[in-house]
Chains A and B, each alone.
Chain A
Amino acid sequence: SYVLTQPPSVSVAPGQTARITCGGNNIGSKSVHWYQQKPGQAPVLVVYDDSDRPSGIPERFSGSNSGNTATLTISRVEAGDEADYYCQVWDSSSDHPYVFGTGTKVTVL
């Protein structure tokens, strides 16, 4: 099945920019979604269809997708952004249509 690879961890200082990558074979041809998960809570969708934001998600969260890498960018990082982040793709033609990435722990220094 399709594999999505993320770095285990990313560290960033407050006010700086965090970039989280999601690698997959020709991922640029798919729609990528990103989730934020804080300890003890359910995941929350923060970016969908590569770069769109659901209502209520700050503009500081943005996404891009090209080639074999999708990226979630968090600008002006705040302490409250510390969480696990997961990418996910959907392939309606696959027998395994929903695939999640391995997850990245973002630590705010």
Chain B
Amino acid sequence: QVQLQESGPGLVKPSETLSLTCAVSGYSISSGYYWGWIRQPPGKGLEWIGSIYHSGSTYYNPSLKSRVTISVDTSKNQFSLKLSSVTAADTAVYYCASPIAVAGAFDIWGQGTMVTVSS
């Protein structure tokens, strides 16, 4: 059974870079699938941030593309998110998620991690 677990700082200062990691268990990330990041500001809806294929190909939300980098570390079986030049608008719960059994749908989610942007 595939499981995802996010980790990273819960507080980031404005203009700095938000960095999160998603550890994958129950499956070798190098074997396939897309691995994605989704966020949800407090009281608001879901927003897809970007996804990475196991080979390293990346796909980013055009509205965030200039600030987002997603990478894979197959040796640690994890993938990461970096979001630069953050502002208060980037305060959100950040989820890692993946379409494992269903192409195009996120059927596996991490529990989510709250990141607050504040000085």
Binding site for B on A (CB under 8 A): 1, 31, 33, 35, 42-45, 48-49, 54, 86, 88-90, 92, 95-103
Ordered by A's residue number, 8 sampled pairs between the chains whose C-beta atoms are within 8 Å are A35-B106, A42-B97, A43-B106, A45-B105, A45-B106, A88-B106, A97-B59, A100-B47
- In the assembled complex, B35 has its CB within 8 A of some CB on chain A: no
Point out the residues of chain A lying under 8 angstroms from B62, CB to CB: 1, 95-96
Chain B residues within 8 Å of chain A by Cβ, number: 24
Chain B hits for A102, CB < 8 A: 45
B46: A residues at CB distance < 8 A: 35, 43, 86, 88, 100, 103
CB-CB < 8 A to B105: which residues of A? Answer: 31, 33, 45, 48-49, 88, 90
Complex formed: what's the CA distance from A63 to B6 in Å?
A: 31
Closest to A54 in B: B107
Minimum CB distance partner of A100 in chain B? B46
Are A33 and B45 in contact, CB atoms less than 8 angstroms apart?
no
> Judging by beta carbons under 8 Å apart, are B111 and A90 in contact?
no
Q: Given known contacts A42-B110, A96-B61, is B47 in contact with A54 (CB within 8 Å)?
A: no
**Is B109 in contact with A43, judged by CB distance below 8 angstroms?**
yes
Report whether A42 and B48 are in contact in the complex, using a CB–CB cutoff of 8 Å.
no
CB distance from A47 to the nearest CB of B (A): 9
- Residue with the greatest number of chain A CB neighbours at <10 A, chosen from B36, B59, B95: B59
Q: Do the beta carbons of A100 and B45 come within 8 Å of each other?
A: yes
User: Smallest Cβ distance from B35 to chain A, in angstroms?
Assistant: 12
Contact of A98 among B45, B51, B109 (CB under 8 A): B51
Given contacts A97-B59, A98-B51, contact A42 B104 (CB under 8 A): no
